[in-house]
């Protein structure tokens, strides 16, 4: 973590400032703190591999003791939940390799690690909608500068989008060390990551951010009222700030992995200081499938919202937010241009046939809506596909990039 991030951090329990305890073990490289101990007036917290761990569960307390004892290697093992020595040694080997990919690390963590369909994340419909909404809302409110936070942001797939618009770099907060670690190394390098509990007070100072969001996680938060109050505190006093809750489930319509969702009025009720607008996710999805604009000036009917599996909730006083937003054309490549892994590749002379095939029936059931933009079959010339390696998108493949057959993935993703 950068030393300047201490200006944002506050103890979640006493609200006090935190300082690096210089009398205890620490490793620092210029302005970056690698490992160490942070202290406030009430307790101490560990920093492991540049990630402050701002909760006091059993693993984080054990890891903190390892850091104090000068064993950051053991602290990392603890935070990854690797208690079997042989497994841990194998994991350390994978992580030490310069060529290891996100996929390698997920596989080395073992089947208990919830990796799920991460390979397909960048083209699944939930991501596609969230990415467009985040670009539109965060892009608008941060156009004149300001910082974003992605709360419960997991391994940073959308934090990566925030890196384009947040200045200074966005903060990613999540309960799980392994996820934010993956984000810092692969998905969103350059973000600041903090481990903390979304069911407690957030460990940040009031007004530290101009944009705060939580996507695809809010239905699993039990203390929803506290959470929204905390989000409002984080952007308090910032001119034209925005709060976004993306892809949260709907009490009125059953969904797989339902969580504990609320109705639209239940969600509105959480916002005490500002009236949010609630969108039916399928209407935003339809905007994207037809190529835009993403129309945030719409007022979905109460019935349409009740019938939708997932909702997007936006609260902002910025005049540019609730407006139609042009979908950004593919920007200069940020990572590596790759064929979408949902396609099988059949070479045929100078051409290649790409066929859409889902990894499982479960995937088809949950994410099958991607068929709205992913064609079943497409034939492309091999030379153009080979040219993707240069990092530049040939003009004849622009449409396939827009339809997510070609993806701009983080480097060394798989």
Q: Interface residues with Zn ion (CB under 5 A)? A: 11, 13-14, 16, 40, 42
- For Zn ion, give the closer residue by CB, 3 or 14: 14
Sign of the torsion angle spanned by Cα atoms 190, 71, 52, 37: negative
Q: Which is nearer to Zn ion, 43 or 307 (CB)?
A: 43
CA distance readout (Å), 284 to 80, 294, 295, 327, 348: 37, 6, 7, 12, 38
> What residues contact residue 149 under an 8 Å CB cut-off, 6+ apart?
170, 171, 172, 173, 204, 208, 209, 211, 212, 213, 234
Residue 45 CB, nearest distance to Zn ion (Å)? Answer: 9
**Smallest gap, in angstroms, from Cβ of residue 162 to Zn ion?**
28
Distance between CA 305 and CA 302 in Å, rounded?
5
**Least distance in Å: CB of 11 to Zn ion?**
3
DSSP state of 186: I
State the DSSP H helix or E strand holding residue 289, giving kind and residue range, or none if neither.
helix 281-289
Nearest CA among 56, 20, 50, 24 for reference residue 38: 20
Residue nearest to Zn ion (CB): 11
Question: Measured from the CB atom, is 16 or 375 closer to Zn ion?
Answer: 16
Of the pair 40, 409, the CB lying nearest Zn ion is at: 40
Rounded to the nearest whole angstrom, what is the least distance from the CB of residue 52 to Zn ion in the complex? 13
d(Cα 196, Cα 54) in Å, to the nearest integer? 5
Radius of gyration of the chain (CA): 22
C-alpha 333, offset from chain centre: 19
Rank residues 54 and 288 by Cβ distance to Zn ion and give the closer one: 54
Helix (H) or strand (E) holding 171: strand 171-174
C-alpha to C-alpha distance for 272 and 299, rounded to whole angstroms:
21
For Zn ion, the closer CB: 16 or 359: 16
CB closer to Zn ion out of 40 and 352:
40
Residue number, 11 or 136, with CB nearest to Zn ion: 11
Hey, is 322 helix, strand or coil? coil
Q: How far apart are CA 287 and CA 405, in angstroms?
A: 19
Q: At what angle do helices 125-141 and 281-289 cross, to 10 degrees?
A: 90
For residues 11 and 171, which CB has a smaller minimum distance to Zn ion in the complex?
11
CB of 33 to Zn ion, least distance (A): 18
Q: How far is it, in rounded angstroms, from Cα 88 to Cα 405?
A: 37
Shortest distance in whole angstroms from residue 44 CB to Zn ion:
9
**Residues 6 or more apart in contact with residue 114 via CB below 8 angstroms:** none
Closest CA to 138 of 218, 266, 235, 51: 235
d(CA 91, CA 327): 40
Strands 324-325 and 294-295: antiparallel
Nearer to Zn ion by Cβ, of 45 and 227: the residue is 45
Least distance (Å) between residue 13 CB and Zn ion: 5
In the complex, minimum distance from the CB of residue 290 to Zn ion, in angstroms, rounded to a whole number? 51
Least Å from the CB of residue 243 to Zn ion: 26
The nearest distance, CB 256 to Zn ion, in angstroms, is 39
């Amino acid at each position: 973590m950068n030393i300047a991030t201490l200006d944002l951090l506050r103890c979640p329990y006493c609200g006090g400032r935190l300082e690096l305890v210089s009398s205890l073990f620490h490793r620092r490289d210029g302005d970056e703190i690698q490992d160490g101990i942070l202290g406030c007036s009430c307790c101490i917290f560990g920093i492991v591999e540049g990630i402050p761990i701002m909760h006091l569960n059993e693993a984080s307390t054990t890891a903190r003791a390892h850091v104090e004892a000068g064993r950051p290697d053991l602290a990392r093992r603890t935070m990854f939940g690797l208690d079997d020595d042989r497994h841990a040694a194998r994991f350390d080997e994978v992580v030490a390799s310069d060529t290891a990919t996100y996929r390698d690390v997920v596989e080395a963590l073992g089947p208990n690690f919830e990796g799920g369909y991460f390979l397909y994340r960048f083209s699944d419909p939930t991501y596609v909608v969230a990415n467009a909404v985040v670009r539109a809302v965060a892009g608008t409110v941060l156009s004149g500068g300001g910082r974003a936070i992605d709360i419960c942001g997991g391994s940073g797939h959308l934090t990566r989008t925030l890196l384009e618009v947040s200045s200074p770099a966005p903060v990613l907060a999540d309960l799980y060390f392994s996820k934010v670690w993956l984000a810092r190394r692969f998905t969103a390098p350059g973000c600041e990551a903090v481990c903390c509990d979304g069911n407690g007070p957030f460990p940040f100072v009031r007004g530290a951010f101009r944009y705060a969001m939580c996507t695809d996680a809010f239905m699993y938060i039990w203390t929803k009222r506290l959470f929204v109050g905390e989000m409002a505190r984080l952007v308090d006093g910032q001119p034209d700030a925005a709060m976004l809750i993306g892809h949260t489930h709907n009490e009125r319509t059953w969904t797989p992995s339902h969580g504990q969702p609320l109705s639209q009025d239940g969600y509105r009720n959480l916002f005490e200081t500002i009236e949010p607008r609630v969108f039916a996710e399928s209407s935003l999805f339809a905007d994207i499938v037809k190529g835009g604009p993403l129309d945030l000036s719409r007022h979905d009917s109460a019935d349409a919202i009740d019938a939708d599996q997932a909702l997007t909730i936006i609260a902002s006083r910025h005049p540019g937010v609730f407006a139609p937003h042009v979908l950004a054309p593919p920007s200069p490549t940020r990572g590596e241009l790759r064929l979408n892994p949902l396609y099988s590749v059949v070479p045929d002379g100078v051409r290649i046939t790409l066929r859409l095939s889902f990894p499982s029936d479960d995937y088809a059931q949950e994410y099958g809506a991607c068929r709205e933009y992913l064609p079943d079959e497409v034939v492309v010339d091999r030379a153009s596909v080979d040219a993707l390696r240069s990092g530049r998108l040939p003009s004849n493949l622009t449409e396939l990039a827009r339809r997510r057959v070609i993806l701009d993935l983080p480097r060394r993703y798989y």
